[in-house]
Amino acid sequence: MLAAQPAVTLIAGTAVVAALDLASKAAAPALAPAAPWLLAPMTNDALSLGIATATAPALVAAMAVGLLAAALVVVRLIGTGRVGVVGCVLLLGGALGNLVDRAATGAVHDFLITGPVVLNVADLAVLTGTVSIARALHRTAGPIAGEPAASAPGTFVSEGR
C-alpha cells in the first residue's frame, strides 16, 4: 500500500507532467518559426516511433491499458521503497500526456527535433522516468540466486576462473 504523501505526490506530479506536455504541444506551432532547427511540429498516428499502427480508438485503448498497468506496477515499487516517486511521476505523466493527446486528436503531436527522430515532452518524460526506474531497480537488486554478491558497486567477484 502506498502511503498518503507519496500517493499525493505521484498523482499531482503525474498531472503536472501531463499538463506541461500538453501545453508544450499547444505552443510548439507558434514557436516553431523562431527555432526551425529545434522545432518541427507534426502529428504521429502510429505508436512507439511507428512500430505499431492501428485505428485511433484501438491505440487509445492500448495506451490506457498500458498506463493502468504501469501505474499498478509503480505504486507497488514505490511502496516497497525500491524506486523513488520522481521517476514514476515522469513515466506516468508522459504516458498520460500522450494518451490525452491521442484521445483528443487521434494522434500524438511531436515537435522536438532530436537528430532523425522528432519527439515531444511526454516522450522525454517517459524515457527519463523509465531510465530512472531501471537504475533504481538495478541498484536495489539483490544477487541472483546462487551467485555471490559483489562487494561494492561496479566490482566483480571472481570465483577463481
- Which single residue is written with the C-alpha cell 506536455? 21
Going by C-beta distance under 8 Å and a sequence separation of 6 or more, which residues neighbour residue 44? 50, 107, 108, 109, 110, 118
CA–CA separation, 84 and 55 (whole Å): 35
Give the cell for residue 8.
499525493
Report strand pairing: 117-119 vs 39-44: unpaired
Task: Report how far apart, in Å, the C-alpha atoms of 76 and of each of 1, 3, 17, 70 are.
Answer: 7, 11, 21, 10
- Judge whether 21 counts as a catalytic residue: no
Q: Tell me which of 21, 45, 101, 123 is the catalytic residue.
A: 123
**Is residue 123 flagged as an active site residue?**
yes
- Name the residues annotated as catalytic: 110, 123
